[in-house]
Amino acid sequence: MRNLKLIIDCDDVLSRFIESWLKFYNIRHNDNKVLEDIHGWDIENYLTGCTEEELLGILDIPNFFRNVPSIPRAKLILGKLREAGHEITVVSDYSNPAQLVDKQYWLKTFMNVEKKDTMFGGKKEIVRGDIMIDDNPKNLENFDGIRILFSATHNRLATAEADGYHFRCDNWWEIEDLILGKDSNLIEAMLRE
């Protein structure tokens, strides 16, 4: 297989972002919500014990992003993808400069991703590559390459037919199989089309 350019989302693909957000929400608002309570992207519709401003304020807690756990096996598979010659670009959004610094720190510390291999901003549709891996179907809609939806509780109702992705991967083992392993012939065939 030729070397591929992979565009990979950070939050809830590499990091357990919503899980951490939910943990802080429950502590701050004396609630007991679980991931399974969140059925979509508009998290404020499911965490109703505070205002939207208070909910978003959790993301401004100093060092919030530095303490988010990683998705199991993400770092290992990123390393294998790099070793196979594939180019990795991690994309993510942020709402203030402190979040940007914290995410860059997190990516370097927990994923061995250098600043030069990141793109920060809200317009993922401008990023070009062969494969995009994201947990938000909307970010995959206008991507020209192969679109992989990374499963999360908030996207469990998404379907390939309605949301336009090619593959759904539940974990990094499946991504490894799809790009490097037994299913890599599917990717090769699609890229030849």
Give the residue numbers marked as catalytic. Answer: 9, 11
Sign of CA dihedral 93, 96, 97, 99: negative
Which tokens belong to 5? 């350019």
115, with CB counted inside 10 A (0-12, 13-18, 19+), is exposed
CB-based contact 38:22 (threshold 8 Å) = yes
Distance of CA 61 to the CA centre of its chain: 21
CB-based contact 65:29 (threshold 8 Å) = no
Distance CA 163, CA 90 (A): 22
